[in-house]
Every structure is written in structure tokens, then in C-alpha cells.
């Protein structure tokens, strides 16, 4: 009896509901790959995966059908670079697992066990249409911040889609301060740590012989070996045009390494070189102020100019609140569309802009075969919107993640309902729940 | 402040600091406000306006925008309307039959919108400028929990590139620059016209009253508790505030009685608040703290003009209405610190529905570039919960309401004839994400024109740098 109770309690908390098979019909369908929306589209999700999406798709007999009423239906938004799940209240340090400034480890850190799927930022971002997120650590005591994950924002305990999906490192001013005070120190430390990791990979026993003077510890070396061989993409925060070129050149020494630039505020100044190196870029698209001397060339036209040069561009929300406001992705993408109407500016078409917050981030992290679009075989992350998803007033009306229908209710909804009439009645507001 | 690569705590701390800078006022003499004779007599012993505005309207030409949708800033709307700007003022507003003066430049506004310029009551441009280097960090005199003697205008760097971004991308024509929120009493604010200038005086809004920034809650107690000083608790916050107010009341009594007083810059500011000449802008997130501050204002005889960042305003919207206090708000910032935990995206419309004064503010060099978008998000959230507010009424959050909170509603903040021609022509509905300012006039002078690269100001700092004159 006791055992049965425990089991049922555990089931309530831990077990995700089974994925439903569902067909969403009568959709203004956005695939998310940069193609134009299709009127009268249908998406079929079975076993948690998209099996078909398009205008001429037939609904298999017996499948649950949801009529989208002609509204936009899209893949879920993919937060391109975030800290969702790593913090509840930023300034309450016990809830904040972004960074580990006092650890003796660096590249070996893995943020997966720090993720909290029950945190309110997960629910709030989900209700805004974000279904997946690339989550990166903020920093360690060393140059390398550690390994991030790709996660889903479903209302269950199973959050990690791919652990150790990226390694993160900040170059430029932040990296210089970590490495010892100058950009020269970053590049030397970076190279020495990677070379040490490579030596360790060739002869693991050697590490023990290096003793306390070792450039690197075993856990960190393990992680960096995966960076060198391209198993783990290396996300590099870098902004100054000259720094970008130096980072891109690192591929000459480590040719298998998969680089992804984060920020790249002055990327437009060296767009052809980035394109030639086939390095994807995740931009914070509305960063347009010279916040530092490595961002003097900041402009909202960065994304448009990079895209025009042939760079794979993803749009993120990270020079802003990168844990609580992932829903800004749609607004930011919409702003890039607005730029197409401004003389002298470069923006993105609507189709490009939506791709930059769905398949773009998926491509950057090397997972566009699994997430970020409604092409067959991708996860069943589907959103029905009440309007143009990039418009300020639009919200999701229904969301599926891995084919499972999601709750859209947040703690904020409960507060708003309680205070719809703020005056207290016969009993205090605390009895209204 | 959403800039740079910052670790979580650093970013949070920056936010916390930035959150809540409210102080801005100009010595009373600028407005010529009537004061009790004795006070006046004593006050004249020293110059109350020693850093006077040298702003002047730049040349403009008689201009009419026709066939345009107008939000007048006070809740009115005209479709297919005409606005006439002449001699730096709004000269006419109405339907298609509105007279257009001979020789006027006529702009076809079909498919476009005209509004009064956006007014931001909460900015730290100039005092925390770009680039945000230590040498520029001039927003918090964090050496004492009460510094009513400091004036934000003495920290403002007019070459902050953020001013031109707010103009070109945000249609911001007037803004209040506040000290930060490290201190319980942070100092005086200054209200500026958003025009480039070599000097701060060249930006000062003529005749605007001064404001004074106060802060509740986490920031003062963290900053000073961290130094091992009072206050380290919320009760400490109130104790220091009350002791300071008690001293100010005694100082003002001496002034009113014509007694001799030594010059005391701190007490002069507080006396100005007590006499109603300086407006209090109080950073305060939590409902319970705002209610206590209201009692403190009654205890010492001053008025809170606006609570800024009032994340929990929706919990006491009825109280704010009763007290006549504005709530200056973000649309949806939340979670960066404990007192910002209970944010709801319906805060603005819930305050509006209660009949209180709602304002959209930025506190941020990026969000000031899209306060219209913040208003749009809040408006839509309100409609989803059944609060039906029209677009034109919501524009009050960006226009007449902040103008009222700054004490300049008789001069700007709406398109009433005779007011300053602070006007934005938008290339579509300004509550759409796809819309940007096309032209911005300040006192009738065209200060930004999307179609003319030379009508986009470039600050000294950006001259000769990568991207000089870029669209940004």
C-alpha cells in the first residue's frame, strides 16, 4: 500500500505524459526552414515526431485532429543562446547556477544537473512559444566556461535533449580578464589547453606525470578533446572585428573543430571572412550601442548584412535577460523585418527572420536534423498562435512538445487572476486561489 | 541594462543598480512657481537656477502632415487627419478639412501615424552612458545612503550615443535622467529635450521642475549593508529616510519663519520637495513597501509623484488611484531579483483599469528605443484578460501621463494646439513590431529623418569610429 502510494506520487511528479498522435489542420503553416507560410496546411505528429507537414498532407484515419482555424502554426521557438533553467531569481545566489567562479574545473563542467525544469522561467518562456533552448554556462574560474545542453521546455522532469551539446568560451574583453589580462593571454591559454588535451588524448597516462603543474585537469581535458575532434561545437563569444578574424583562424590549427560565433557585434565588418569559413553566428540582433570598445560598430543591421553575405544567422536574446525573457525572440525577429523598410538598413525577410529563431539556432548547434522545423523526422514541437507570431500582441494558444500538449499556465497568470480586483473582499486575497 | 557579456550576478547587480533612479528637477526659479512669501524672500538669497537651460528650438519650417492617423497623446484619435506645425508649436490638428497654411511643407501621411514624441520618465542616459566604462560610471553617489545634494545634470555626458538611438529608433523627444538607486535619496534628476548639444544646459527642458530620486527595498540595504553601514534592512531604510525627512522639515520651518540658515544643498533639495516644487520619483517594486512609503509621505508632508519599476502596482492599483500617484512600469521585466519576482505582463493595463496613471518607462539604453513596443505588449496582455483599452488611449502611457509626472504637461505630451511641436511620424501603426519612426520633430524642428542620412545625429564619440553615421 505504501509502495503503491509512493509510486503514484512519483508518477505525478516525474513521468511525462505519453506523446499524443495529432494532426493540426487548417493552418497558416510555417515550416521554419526559411520557406514562406503555406495556407491550408496540415501537420501530422506521431510518436512525438513530425511525420508530415504541408498543404497537401492527408490526415490518417482515426487521428485526433485540431483545427487551427486558419491561424499561424509553427515549429516551437528555439532559444539560440540562453540560461533558461539555470536560474530562478538572478540576485538570489542559491537559485542561480549560471556560473561557477570558484570551481577548480572549467571545460569539464556540465550544466545538465543544474537545470531545473520546474523553475518558473521554464513555464513563462514556454507560454511565450519557446519549446527548445540552447543553454550555455556563464563562466568558470578559467577561460572555458564548460559544457551546455540543448533542452526542451516541456512541463515534465525530462529536460535534456542533448547533454554536452556545446562548449562555451568568451574571448575579447571578458576572456582577457579571465586569461590573465590581455587578448594575447587568451589565445595562448586557449592553444596550450587544447594542445594539452590532445597530448592527454594520445597518452592518458602522461597527465599523471604532469602533476600539479599540469595545464589541464582530466575532466577538462576530456571535454576539450571532444572540442578538438568536432564532437562538441565550440561557442565563442566574440565581438570585435579583429577578434572575430583571429577566432576564425583557430580552425587552421584545429581543423575538425566546429566553431559558432556568439554576439559577433562587429561581424558585419568581416562578413565575407565569416561566410568563407562557414562559421554560423548567433547574434543579439538589437545590440546597437557601443557598450564597449569591442562593440563600436554595433548596428541592428548586423544580422541582415551577415545573412546577405551568406552566413548562417541565428537570433538570440542574450545581451538582455538570457533566462527569463526568451519570449523576446519573436519581437527581436520582428524588428529585423521592420529594418527592411528603413532606408540604408539591412534586415531579414519575414521567412528568414522566423527561420533565425527556429531552424537557425538548430543549425548552429548542429541539430537541425532533430529540432527547429516541421520537416519530417523532427521533434513534434508545434505552436498555434492567435496572430502573426512575430507581432507584439500575438501569443500561443496551444503548444505541443515532443507531441505532448503543454500547459500554458504560469505563476504570473495566477497572480494576475488573484488581483484582477485588487481590493480585498470578505476574506484577504490569500484565500483566493 | 541589457548590454555586454555579463555573468548572471553581475548582470543582476547592474540591473538592480539601474533599477530605480528617480530624481530630476530644476530649481524652482526656472518655472517661476509661486511660493510663500517668506520662503521666496529667503530663497532669493541664493540662486535657485544656477545652471540654467540654454536650450533653444532649432529652425523649423511650417509643416503639415495630411491623411494621417493621429493619436493625440491624451486618448484622442483622428483617422485621415491633419497636423500642422508652425513656429515650433502644434498649430492645428483635426480632420481632412483642417486648414493648411500657404507655403507649408505638406507631407502625405496616408498609411502612417502621427503621435506626440515619446517621453521616458526613467533614463540613465548620460549618467551611465555608452561605452559603459568605469570612467563613465556616474549614476550613483554610493558613498552615503542619502545624497539629496547631488544633481544628475552634473554627471550627464551629452555625447552618450544612446541619446541619438532613443531619438531615431524610439521617437523619444523628452526624457528624465535620474541618479541610480543605490541610495535611499539619490539626488536631483534633470529633464532633457532629446537634442544633441555640446553642453547639458543645451539639452535642459526649459521650465521643467526638478525631480528627486528615492529608492526602496533591496538596493539601498544591499549597498550599505554590504559596507557594514546602515541601512542593512528595510526597517533601516525607513529609519534613515524618516530621520532625514524630520531634519528637512525642521530646516524648512526655519526657512518659512525667515530665520537664518546655513546653505545646505541637501536640505535645499528636500525643502523643495516639501514645498511641492520638486517632484518625487520613487523606485519601489513591492506593493507593501509602496503602501508604507505613502504613509511616510503623509507623515512628513510631501507627495510621491510616481513609483518607478512598480512591479507590484497591480496589487495596489486602487490605492495608487486614491493617492493620485503614477506607476512607471516595464511591460514584462521580471525575475532578476526578489522584489521583481511577482511581475505580471498585465501590470500596465491593470493600473489603467483602476483609473490610476500608468506610464511605460525604460531604465535602459536599449528598451528606450522601443517603448512603443513595450506598450503594445502590455496592451495586448490586458486585452487577453478582458481589459479593453484602445490604442489611442494606451498612447497616454508614453505621452501625457509621463509629461504629467514630470510637471511639463502644459508644455508637451500631447498634440494640443499651442504646445511644443514634439512630434513623431511613424511609418505604420506604432504598436506594430514592423513600424519605425520616419521623422521626429522637436519644437517643430526636424531632428531625425529616416530618408535623410544627414538628419541622423552622430555624437562626438562615434565620429571617426567604425560605423559612423550608420543606420544603427
Q: Which residues pair with A22 in a beta bridge?
A: A45, A64
* B218: chain A residues, CB-CB within 8 Å: 91
What pLDDT, on a 0 to 100 scale, did the predictor assign at position A210?
67
Query: What pLDDT, in 10s, does the model give residues B419-469?
Result: 999 999 999 999 999 999 999 999 999 999 999 999 999 999 999 999 999
The closest alpha carbon to A328, from A77, A33, A118, belongs to: A77
Does the beta carbon of A422 lie under 8 angstroms from any beta carbon of chain B? yes
Residue bearing cell 530630476: B24
Torsion-angle region of residue B4: left (phi > 0), alpha (psi -120 to 50) or beta? left
- The answer to whether B465 contacts A87, with C-beta atoms less than 8 Å apart, is no
- The answer to whether A90 contacts B341, with C-beta atoms less than 8 Å apart, is no
Q: Give the integer Cα–Cα distance in Å for B261 and B255.
A: 7
The grid cell for A121 is 522561467
First vs last Cα of chain A: how many Å apart? 32
The distance of Cα B7 from the centroid of its chain, to the nearest Å, equals 29
Phi then psi for A369, rounded to 5 degrees? -85, -10
Q: Which residue of B has its CA nearest to A263?
A: B5
Which of A170, A292, A334 lies at the smallest CB-CB distance from B131? A292
| pTM given for the model | 0.94
Least confident of A356-365, B3-12, B193-202: B3-12
Phi then psi for B164, rounded to 5 degrees? -70, -30
What pLDDT, on a 0 to 100 scale, did the predictor assign at position B9?
33
Residues A207-237 as b/e (b if ≥16 CB within 10 A, e otherwise) read beeeeeebbbbebbbbbbbbbbeeebbbbbb
What pLDDT, on a 0 to 100 scale, did the predictor assign at position A3?
42
The grid cell for B338 is 526578489
The closest alpha carbon to B329, from B357, B308, B314, belongs to: B308
What pLDDT, on a 0 to 100 scale, did the predictor assign at position B87?
98
* Cβ atoms B216, B293 nearer than 8 A: yes
Per-residue 3-state assignment (H helix, E strand, C coil) for B353-409: HCCCCEEECCCCCCHHHHHHHHHHHHHHHHHHCCCCCCHHHHHHHHCHHHHHHCCCC
- The answer to whether A338 contacts B431, with C-beta atoms less than 8 Å apart, is no
The grid cell for A209 is 606525470
* Cβ atoms B246, B300 nearer than 8 A: yes
**Residue range(s) occupied by CATH 2.30.40.10 in chain A:** 1-76+372-433
Q: Which residues contact A127 (CB under 8 A, 6 or more apart)?
A: A327, A395, A396, A399, A408, A409, A410
* B345: chain A residues, CB-CB within 8 Å: 412, 416
Does the beta carbon of B131 lie under 8 angstroms from any beta carbon of chain A? yes
**Residue range(s) occupied by CATH 3.20.20.140 in chain A:** 79-370
Q: DSSP letter at A73? A: E
Query: What pLDDT, in 10s, does the model give residues A115-168?
Result: 999 999 999 999 999 999 999 999 999 999 999 999 999 999 999 999 999 999
Supply the Cα-derived Rg of chain B in whole angstroms.
Answer: 21
- The answer to whether B470 contacts A297, with C-beta atoms less than 8 Å apart, is yes
What pLDDT, on a 0 to 100 scale, did the predictor assign at position A17?
58
* Cβ atoms A311, A304 nearer than 8 A: no
Torsion-angle region of residue B356: left (phi > 0), alpha (psi -120 to 50) or beta? beta
The distance of Cα B369 from the centroid of its chain, to the nearest Å, equals 14
- The answer to whether A297 contacts B436, with C-beta atoms less than 8 Å apart, is no
Q: Which residues pair with A424 in a beta bridge?
A: none
The CATH number given to A79-370 is: 3.20.20.140
Other beta carbons within 10 Å of A426: 5
Q: Give the integer Cα–Cα distance in Å for A68 and A55.
A: 13
* ipTM of this predicted structure: 0.94
Does B292 score more than 60 pLDDT? yes
* Cβ atoms A394, A388 nearer than 8 A: yes
Query: What pLDDT, in 10s, does the model give residues B114-165?
Result: 999 999 999 999 999 999 999 999 999 999 999 999 999 999 999 999 999 9
* B288: chain A residues, CB-CB within 8 Å: none
Q: Which residues contact A110 (CB under 8 A, 6 or more apart)?
A: A146, A147, A149, A163, A164
- Per-residue DSSP letters for A178-208? HHTSSHHHHHHHHHHHHHHHHHHHH-HHHHH
Confidence tier at A212 by pLDDT (50, 70, 90): low
Q: What is the mean pLDDT of chain B?
A: 92
Q: Which residue of A has its CA nearest to B5?
A: A319
The CATH number given to A1-76+372-433 is: 2.30.40.10
Q: Which residues pair with A28 in a beta bridge?
A: A72
- CATH H-level superfamily of B8-57+118-416: Metal-dependent hydrolases (3.20.20.140)
The grid cell for B384 is 487577453
- The answer to whether A300 contacts B472, with C-beta atoms less than 8 Å apart, is yes
* B333: chain A residues, CB-CB within 8 Å: 321, 325
Per-residue 3-state assignment (H helix, E strand, C coil) for A80-102: EEECCCCECCCCCHHHECCECCC
* Cβ atoms A74, A32 nearer than 8 A: yes
Q: Give the integer Cα–Cα distance in Å for A129 and A408.
A: 9
Q: At what angle do helices A328-339 and B371-384 cross, to 10 degrees?
A: 130
Does the beta carbon of B318 lie under 8 angstroms from any beta carbon of chain A? yes
- The answer to whether B132 contacts A337, with C-beta atoms less than 8 Å apart, is no
Does the beta carbon of A138 lie under 8 angstroms from any beta carbon of chain B? yes
E strands, A202-293, in order? 234-238, 259-263, 281-283
Amino acid at each position: 500500500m505504501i509502495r503503491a502510494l509512493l509510486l503514484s506520487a512519483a508518477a505525478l511528479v516525474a513521468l511525462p505524459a505519453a506523446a499524443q498522435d495529432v494532426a493540426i489542420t487548417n493552418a497558416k503553416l510555417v515550416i521554419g526552414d526559411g520557406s514562406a507560410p503555406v495556407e491550408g496546411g496540415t501537420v501530422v505528429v506521431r510518436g512525438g515526431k513530425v511525420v508530415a507537414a504541408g498543404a497537401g498532407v492527408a490526415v490518417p484515419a482515426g487521428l485526433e485532429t485540431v483545427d487551427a482555424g486558419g491561424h499561424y502554426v509553427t515549429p516551437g521557438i528555439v532559444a539560440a543562446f540562453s540560461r533558461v533553467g539555470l536560474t530562478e531569481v538572478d540576485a538570489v545566489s542559491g537559485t542561480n547556477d549560471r556560473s561557477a567562479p570558484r570551481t577548480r574545473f572549467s571545460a569539464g563542467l556540465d550544466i545538465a544537473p543544474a537545470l531545473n525544469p520546474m523553475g518558473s522561467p521554464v513555464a513563462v518562456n514556454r507560454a511565450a512559444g519557446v519549446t527548445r533552448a540552447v543553454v550555455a554556462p556563464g563562466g568558470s574560474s578559467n577561460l572555458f566556461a564548460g559544457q551546455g545542453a540543448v533542452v526542451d521546455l516541456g512541463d515534465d522532469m525530462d529536460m535534456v535533449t542533448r547533454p554536452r551539446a556545446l562548449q562555451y568560451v568568451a574571448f575579447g574583453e571578458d576572456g582577457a580578464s579571465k586569461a590573465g589580462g590581455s587578448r594575447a593571454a587568451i589565445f595562448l591559454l586557449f592553444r596550450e589547453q587544447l594542445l594539452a588535451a590532445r597530448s592527454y588524448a594520445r597518452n592518458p597516462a602522461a597527465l599523471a606525470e604532469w602533476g600539479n603543474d599540469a595545464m589541464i585537469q582530466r575532466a577538462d581535458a576530456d571535454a576539450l578533446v571532444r572540442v578538438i575532434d568536432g564532437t562538441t561545437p565550440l561557442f565563442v563569444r566574440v565581438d570585435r572585428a579583429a577578434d572575430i578574424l583571429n577566432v576564425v583562424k583557430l580552425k587552421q590549427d584545429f581543423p575538425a573543430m566546429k566553431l559558432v560565433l556568439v554576439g559577433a557585434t562587429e561581424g558585419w565588418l568581416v562578413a565575407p571572412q565569416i561566410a568563407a569559413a562557414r562559421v554560423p553566428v548567433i547574434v543579439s540582433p538589437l545590440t546597437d550601442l557601443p557598450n564597449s570598445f569591442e562593440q563600436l560598430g554595433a548596428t541592428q543591421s548586423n544580422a541582415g548584412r551577415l545573412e546577405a553575405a551568406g552566413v548562417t544567422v541565428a537570433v538570440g536574446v542574450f545581451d538582455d535577460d538570457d533566462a527569463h525573457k526568451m519570449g523576446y525572440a519573436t519581437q527581436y525577429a520582428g524588428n529585423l523585418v521592420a529594418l527592411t523598410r528603413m532606408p540604408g538598413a539591412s534586415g531579414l525577410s519575414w521567412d528568414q527572420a522566423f527561420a533565425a529563431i527556429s531552424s537557425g539556432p538548430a543549425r548552429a548547434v548542429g541539430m537541425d536534423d532533430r529540432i527547429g522545423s516541421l520537416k519530417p523526422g523532427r521533434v513534434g514541437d508545434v505552436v498555434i498562435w492567435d496572430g502573426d507570431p512575430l507581432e507584439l500582441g500575438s501569443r500561443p494558444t496551444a503548444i505541443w512538445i515532443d507531441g505532448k500538449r503543454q500547459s500554458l499556465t504560469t505563476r504570473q497568470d495566477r497572480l494576475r487572476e488573484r488581483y484582477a480586483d485588487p481590493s480585498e473582499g470578505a476574506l484577504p486575497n490569500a484565500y483566493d486561489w | 541594462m541589457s548590454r555586454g557579456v555579463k555573468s548572471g550576478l553581475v548582470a543582476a547587480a547592474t540591473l538592480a543598480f539601474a533599477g530605480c533612479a528617480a530624481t530630476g528637477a530644476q530649481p524652482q526659479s526656472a518655472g517661476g512657481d509661486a511660493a510663500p512669501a517668506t520662503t521666496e524672500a529667503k530663497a532669493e538669497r541664493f540662486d535657485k537656477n544656477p545652471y540654467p537651460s540654454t536650450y533653444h528650438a532649432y529652425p523649423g519650417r511650417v509643416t503639415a502632415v495630411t491623411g494621417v492617423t493621429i493619436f493625440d497623446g491624451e486618448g484622442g484619435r483622428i483617422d485621415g487627419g491633419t497636423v500642422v506645425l508652425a513656429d515650433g508649436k502644434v498649430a492645428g490638428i483635426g480632420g481632412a478639412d483642417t486648414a493648411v497654411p500657404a507655403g507649408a511643407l505638406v507631407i502625405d501621411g496616408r498609411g502612417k501615424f502621427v503621435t506626440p514624441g515619446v517621453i521616458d520618465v526613467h533614463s540613465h542616459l548620460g549618467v551611465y552612458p555608452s561605452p559603459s566604462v568605469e570612467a563613465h560610471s556616474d549614476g550613483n553617489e554610493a558613498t552615503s545612503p542619502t545624497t539629496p545634494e547631488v544633481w544628475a545634470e552634473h554627471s550627464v555626458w551629452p555625447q552618450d550615443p544612446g541619446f541619438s538611438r532613443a531619438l531615431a529608433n524610439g521617437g523619444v523627444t523628452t526624457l528624465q535622467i535620474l541618479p541610480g538607486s543605490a541610495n535611499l535619496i539619490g539626488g536631483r534628476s534633470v529633464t532633457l529635450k532629446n537634442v544633441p548639444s555640446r553642453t547639458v544646459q543645451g539639452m535642459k527642458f526649459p521650465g521643467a521642475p526638478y525631480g528627486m530620486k528615492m529608492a526602496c527595498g533591496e538596493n539601498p540595504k544591499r549597498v550599505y549593508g554590504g559596507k557594514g553601514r546602515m541601512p542593512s534592512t528595510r526597517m533601516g531604510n525607513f529609519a534613515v529616510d524618516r530621520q532625514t525627512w524630520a531634519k528637512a522639515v525642521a530646516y524648512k520651518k526655519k526657512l518659512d519663519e525667515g530665520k537664518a540658515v546655513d546653505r545646505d544643498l541637501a536640505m535645499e533639495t528636500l525643502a523643495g520637495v516639501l514645498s511641492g516644487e520638486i517632484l518625487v520619483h520613487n523606485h519601489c517594486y513591492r506593493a507593501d513597501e509602496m503602501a508604507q512609503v505613502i504613509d511616510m509621505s503623509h507623515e512628513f508632508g510631501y507627495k510621491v509623484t510616481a513609483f518607478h519599476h512598480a512591479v507590484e502596482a497591480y496589487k495596489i492599483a486602487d490605492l495608487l488611484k486614491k493617492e493620485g500617484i503614477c506607476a512607471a512600469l516595464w511591460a514584462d521585466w521580471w525575475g532578476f531579483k526578489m522584489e521583481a519576482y511577482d511581475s505580471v505582463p498585465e501590470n500596465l493595463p491593470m493600473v489603467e483599469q483602476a483609473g490610476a496613471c500608468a506610464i511605460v518607462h525604460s531604465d535602459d539604453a536599449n528598451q528606450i528605443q522601443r517603448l512603443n513596443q513595450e506598450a503594445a505588449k502590455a496592451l495586448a496582455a490586458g486585452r487577453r484578460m478582458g481589459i479593453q483599452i484602445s490604442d489611442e488611449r494606451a498612447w497616454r502611457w508614453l505621452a501625457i501621463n509621463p509629461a504629467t509626472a514630470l510637471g511639463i504637461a502644459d508644455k508637451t505630451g500631447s498634440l494640443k494646439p499651442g504646445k511644443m511641436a514634439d512630434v513623431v511620424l511613424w511609418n505604420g501603426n506604432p504598436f506594430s513590431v514592423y513600424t519605425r519612426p520616419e521623422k521626429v520633430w522637436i519644437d517643430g524642428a526636424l531632428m531625425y529623418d529616416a530618408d535623410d542620412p544627414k538628419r541622423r545625429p552622430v555624437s562626438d564619440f562615434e565620429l571617426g569610429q567604425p560605423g559612423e553615421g550608420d543606420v544603427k
